[in-house]
Amino acid sequence: MAKIAVYGAGGWGTALAIMLCKAGHAVTLWSAHASTLERLQRDGQNSRLLPGVSLPPELAYSDANDIVSGADFAILAVPSGAVRETARRLSGLVRENTIVVNVAKGFEEHTLKRPSEVIGEELPGIKVATLSGPSHAEEVSRGVPTTVVAASQWQDAALAVQDAFMNPMFRIYVNPDIVGVEIGGATKNVIALAAGICDGLRLGDNPKAALMTRGITEMARLGMRLGGRAPTFAGLAGIGDLIVTCSSEHSRNRRAGIYIGQGMAATEAVAKVGMTVEGYTAAHTVHLLAERHGVDMPIVTECYRVLYEQKDPYTAICDLMQRQKKHEFEDVWLRGSNW
Ligand SMILES: NC(=O)C1=CN([C@@H]2O[C@H](COP(=O)(O)OP(=O)(O)OC[C@H]3O[C@@H](n4cnc5c(N)ncnc54)[C@H](O)[C@@H]3O)[C@@H](O)[C@H]2O)C=CC1
Ligand SMILES: O=C(CO)COP(=O)(O)O
């Protein structure tokens, strides 16, 4: 049995707390707002985000930063924009042998840094792992079979997460490529918005399949430019997460995209979803990263224009269709095909 502190009582933090508590761990769920925790305890469920899923009676609650003292694992389950502030709360309280597990999927907006980079800056000397992959809170909280990846630059940290968190309904693979895993998680949200826009426009299945396929190419192109490894993008944190988020009724990013495709302004769509829509901020950060590193990401660029420059979504799709003629795997062809 491990002692686990879960920082963040939103959809994902609550789902992980339920799953880990039911697996027999001693789990404390943290929120900055005591009123949130009181509501969870009173209702016996997270009625807004995970209605109908009972919170285990063994689950503990606290709004005190120091729940990390003596913990084996601290899970940061807040949006990427809140990772620095939340990691800072652990500063001076977290033990050297506690593993900090990031589950946020995005970049810090003003620094363009990945969550584990941010945590590393705030908590030097602490081992960080990232848990990512196709895993909606709505299903994990109900014990639906789910498979994810635990990535870390420290092999022992990834293996410790795998050993402690894996159970018959939650399968974990390990991967040393935390760069690729985090870039996969952040970029798939932008492609999910684009896929949702496509659904909102009622364009059909062909364009959506194309967006997903060319989307993973863009994700891998950026990821590899930033130091990630190609196989990661063919794995759970790449194509796996892209498939779930572009096709699921649970996806927040896809839902926001549907509203935009139906004619709603982006900010209005995000507000209507009412939960974290990481792809909105990520469209901006990924667009900036692509520009900065000279990476061609046409879907991300068009998505950025729709979200931030009020470009008409259908015109954006048409512009993608009418780009210059290309080889499917241009980078590969340039490296030595005899064509
Ligand atoms: N919901 C899901 O199925 C999954 C979500 N994720 C990722 O997990 C992260 C969190 O997502 P959700 O739980 O869905 O979001 P959510 O919107 O349901 O909950 C976010 C929680 O973070 C808290 N929070 C926000 N800013 C904060 C701050 N500055 N300080 C302290 N607490 C703060 C909020 O009060 C809320 O409880 C996101 O990066 C998301 O992409 C990853 C996998 C699955
Ligand atoms: O990353 C997630 C599931 O893996 C959550 O994001 P979405 O809700 O947009 O799918």
For residue range 65-96, list pLDDT tens digits in order.
999 999 999 999 999 999 999 999 999 999 99
**Confidence band, pLDDT 50/70/90 cuts, at residue 28:** very high
List the residue whose alpha carbon is closest to atom 8 of ligand 2.
Answer: 251
* Active-site residue, from 22, 113, 127, 188: 188
The confidence score (pLDDT) of residue 338 equals 66
Whether the CB-CB separation of 239 and 132 falls below 8 Å is answered with no
Name the token pair of 128: 């960080």
Which part of the chain is CATH 3.40.50.720? 3-176
What is 184-334's CATH superfamily?
N-(1-d-carboxylethyl)-l-norvaline Dehydrogenase; domain 2 (1.10.1040.10)
Residue nearest to atom 33 of ligand 1 (CA): 78
Q: What is the pLDDT of residue 281?
A: 98
At 312 the pLDDT is 98
336 pLDDT more than 90: no
Binding residues for NADPH: 12, 33, 105, 137, 252, 278
Amino acid identity at 190: V
Tokens for 156? Answer: 């022992």
pLDDT digits (tens, 9 = 90+) for 164-220: 999 999 999 999 999 999 999 999 999 999 999 999 999 999 999 999 999 999 999
Domain 3-176: give its CATH code: 3.40.50.720
Task: Judge whether residue 35 has pLDDT over 70.
Answer: yes
Q: Averaged over 237-246, what is the pLDDT?
A: 98
List, as residue ranges, the binding site for substrate: 105, 252-253
Mean pLDDT value of segment 249-258: 98
- Residue ranges, CATH 1.10.1040.10, the chain: 184-334
pLDDT at 334 over 80: no
Q: To the nearest whole percent, how much of the chain has pLDDT over 90?
A: 96
SS3 content of the chain, % helix, strand, coil (to 5): 55, 10, 35
Find the ligand nearest to 12 CA: 1
Q: Which residues line ligand 1 (CB under 6 A)?
A: 8-13, 31-32, 49, 77-80, 82, 85-86, 103-106, 135-137, 275-276, 278
Nearest to 244 by CA among 137, 167, 150: 137
- Model ipTM value: 0.98
Task: Give the residue-averaged pLDDT of 22-33.
Answer: 98
Asked if 208 is an active-site residue, the reply is no
Query: How does pLDDT run across 97-115, given as a tens digit for each residue?
Result: 999 999 999 999 999 999 9
Closest among 191, 207, 218 to 317, alpha carbons compared: 207
Ligand 1 atom index nearest CA of 106: 39
- Lateral strand order in the sheet of 146-151: 60-62, 26-30, 3-7, 73-76, 99-102, 128-132, 146-151, 170-175
Q: Could you tell which of 147, 149, 181, 189 is best to mutate to test the pocket of ligand 2, judged by most ligand atoms within 8 Å of the CB?
A: 189
Residue list for the binding site for NAD(+): 8-13, 137, 252
Q: Closest Cα to residue 21, out of 48, 50, 1, 44?
A: 1
Atom number in ligand 1 closest to CA 10: 19
Q: What is the mean pLDDT of residues 139-163?
A: 98
Atom of ligand 1 nearest to the CA of 138: 3
- Residue 335 pLDDT grade (very low, low, confident, very high; cuts 50, 70, 90): low
Reported as a pLDDT band with limits 50, 70 and 90, residue 337 is low
How many Å apart are CA 142 and CA 138, to the nearest integer?
A: 7
Beta strands (DSSP E) in the chain are 3-7, 26-30, 60-62, 73-76, 99-102, 128-132, 146-151, 170-175
Residue 329's pLDDT is what?
A: 83
